[in-house]
A = this chain, B = another copy of it.
Amino acid sequence: MLLKNISVDCVIFGFDGERLNVLLWQADPQLLLKVVRENEDYEQVRILYESHPSLLTDYTWGLIGAHVPYETGLDEFAQDITSGSTGLRNVYLRQFQTFGDCNRVAYYRVITVGYYALINPRYHDLQMSPLTRKMMWFDIDHLPRLCFDHEKIIISALNHLRESVKYHPVGFHLLPEKFTLTELQTMYEVILGEKLDIRNFRKKIQKMDFLLESGEKQVNVPHRAARLYKFDKDKYELLVKEGLTFRI
């Protein structure tokens, strides 16, 4: 059984080395209609059909989300949704805000709990549900038209991430295991939306002392190869206990 008035929407952020992207999908109206007609027990679809009729007429993009099952906790369900579209398990997920205006969704009262995920998209393919017409990464500065209040939700997630990234080392979830200092800096620049001074940035990061040199370097780059670093999570936890204040 699904809770008809409660959904979870996930703003899935991915950093490709240059830009911050969000994963969006588009339902296939024909398929939706077909499922509703042929199978009234497919509750998720029936609710979608009743509450979001615009999905049947417009090709609009939306966040990955669904109504919450009675027997699934919110955090757990956000993981389910994320792994359902990215195939990744144990993703970094942050509940950031719940949206509960009366008219945020037409025809129906749906309160949605917003989570954002931070993933490194490099090595993973997307998984599309049978109802999906398209699923794609969009640069956060060039979003398409979105259904309902999903644009507001994305902006809100981004603002939350911006604050969070200044004081907590969450950004590492967006990077591959081994990364260069330039990649790290670029990531901060696209999230914060401002340029950072390369020398000051490196000094600050190195002083915090939770990067490990992997010993490796970039290969096959048409310029001097950069050193690859790893994030030392154990050291970070230790430093936090001793009262470190991470601050970009």
A123 near B: Cβ within 8 Å?
A: no
Q: Which residues of A from 93 to 109 have beta carbons under 8 Å from B?
A: 95, 97-102, 109
Closest to A111 in B: B6
A218 near B: Cβ within 8 Å?
A: no
Docked-complex contact B100 and A74, CB < 8 angstroms: yes
| Chain B nearest Cβ from A19, distance in angstroms | 26
A141 near B: Cβ within 8 Å?
A: no
A19-57 CB contact bits vs B (8 Å, 1 = yes)? Answer: 000000000000000000000000000000000000000
| Chain B nearest Cβ from A59, distance in angstroms | 29
The one of B71, B74, B97, B109 in contact with A111, judged by C-beta atoms closer than 8 angstroms, is B74
Q: Chain A: interface residue count, which band?
A: 20 to 34
A77-104 CB contact bits vs B (8 Å, 1 = yes)? Answer: 0000000000000000001011111100
Stoichiometry, copies per complex: 2
A129-161 CB contact bits vs B (8 Å, 1 = yes)? Answer: 000000000000000000000000000000000
Alpha-carbon distance A75/B111, docked complex (angstroms): 12
The one of B6, B73, B109 in contact with A101, judged by C-beta atoms closer than 8 angstroms, is B73
| Chain B nearest Cβ from A101, distance in angstroms | 5
A75 contact set on B, CB distance < 8 A: 100-101
Closest to A3 in B: B5
A127 contact set on B, CB distance < 8 A: none
Return 7 A-B CB contacts under 8 Å, by A number. A3-B5, A5-B5, A75-B100, A75-B101, A98-B113, A100-B113, A111-B113
Interface residues of A (CB under 8 A from B): 3, 5-6, 68, 70-75, 95, 97-102, 109, 111, 113
